[in-house]
């Protein structure tokens, strides 16, 4: 691996490149925090996609794209004397040291659960930090990820089941309530109750140490692979999916499962 001197030299080089592009490139010069925001989200998802594929070379490339956005924002901030990359790094360093008293102080934390509990407690005590346990959850998070974060933060405050098996009674209760609203054919209440079903299942995933986002993405990819198999087999027969019966597609689906 590279030495600290090489790492610092690489960081200095990219800082210089970003500063020059900001001055000399017409596209880079006109960018703002707002104009970059959507691109930043897209780059983050591309990094997540590379991680899902476990493609180390792609992860390295996408990390560079994410880093570019961090440096770009810092460069824009420096032009208005609001902050620069030094401020970003120093504030991050101070936060990490403060929130890891078991490493930099005298606090004890022997498990990751204790670390997270201390982390959330310290966030509540920080000046300008979260005023409530759930206050730090971004509004714009996708709903599935947000539900997981809500439940995890509630757990850190002691709001959780005594035994994880108890969650299944809640899941069954929510499914029953959803089915009742299906019978009443009230669309608004059906949506509300279905949300409760999903929330309870995400809670079950958390209790069994399953990341619900990763689990759902695995199922998405599995479905795509099997459905593509059906479509390919149909093409080999000179047919389209619309020409096939459900039974024929089910037969091919079972073939795909075996593969």
Q: In the chain, where are the structural domains located?
A: 4-85, 214-258
**Res. 128 pLDDT band, cuts 50 70 90:** low
Superfamily in which the 4-85 domain is placed by CATH? MazG-like (1.10.287.1080)
| Token duo for residue 232 | 């390919």
Query: What digits encode the pLDDT tens for the residues 88-111?
Result: 999 999 999 998 998 998 888 888
Q: How far apart are CA 208 and CA 168, in angstroms?
A: 12
The pLDDT score that the predictor gives to residue 131 is 73
Q: Write the pLDDT tens digit of every residue in 152-202.
A: 888 888 888 889 999 999 999 999 999 999 999 999 999 999 999 999 999
Report how far residue 150's alpha carbon sits from residue 127's, in angstroms, rounded to the nearest whole number.
22
Note the pLDDT of residue 129.
61
Cα–Cα distance for residue pair 197/174, rounded to 1 Å = 5
Here the tokens at position 49 are 């996609």
Q: Is the pLDDT of residue 117 over 80?
A: no
End-to-end CA distance of the chain: 40
pTM for the full predicted model: 0.64
pLDDT digits (tens, 9 = 90+) for 222-239: 999 999 999 999 999 999
């Amino acid at each position: 691996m590279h030495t600290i001197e090489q790492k610092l030299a690489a960081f200095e080089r990219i800082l210089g490149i970003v500063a020059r592009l900001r001055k000399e490139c017409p596209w880079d010069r006109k960018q703002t925090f707002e104009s970059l925001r959507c691109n930043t989200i897209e780059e983050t998802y591309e990094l997540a996609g590379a991680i899902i594929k476990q493609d180390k070379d792609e992860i390295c490339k996408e990390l560079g794209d994410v880093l570019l956005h961090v440096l770009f924002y810092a460069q824009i901030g420096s032009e208005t004397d609001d902050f620069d990359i030094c401020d970003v790094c120093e504030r991050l360093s101070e936060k990490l040291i403060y929130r890891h008293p078991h490493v930099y102080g005298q606090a004890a934390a022997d498990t990751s659960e204790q670390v997270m509990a201390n982390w959330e407690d310290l966030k509540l005590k920080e000046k300008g930090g979260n005023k409530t346990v759930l206050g730090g959850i971004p509004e714009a998070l996708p709903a599935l990820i947000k539900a997981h974060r809500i439940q995890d933060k509630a757990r850190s405050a002691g709001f959780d089941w005594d035994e994880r098996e108890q969650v299944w009674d809640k899941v069954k209760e929510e499914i029953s309530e959803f089915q009742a609203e299906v019978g009443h054919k009230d669309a608004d209440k059906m949506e509300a109750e279905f949300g409760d079903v999903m929330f309870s299942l995400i809670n079950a995933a958390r209790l069994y140490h399953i990341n619900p986002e990763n689990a759902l993405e695995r199922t998405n990819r599995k479905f795509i692979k099997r459905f593509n198999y059906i479509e390919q087999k149909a093409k080999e027969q000179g047919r389209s999916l619309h020409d096939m019966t459900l039974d024929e597609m089910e037969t091919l689906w079972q073939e795909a499962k075996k593969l």
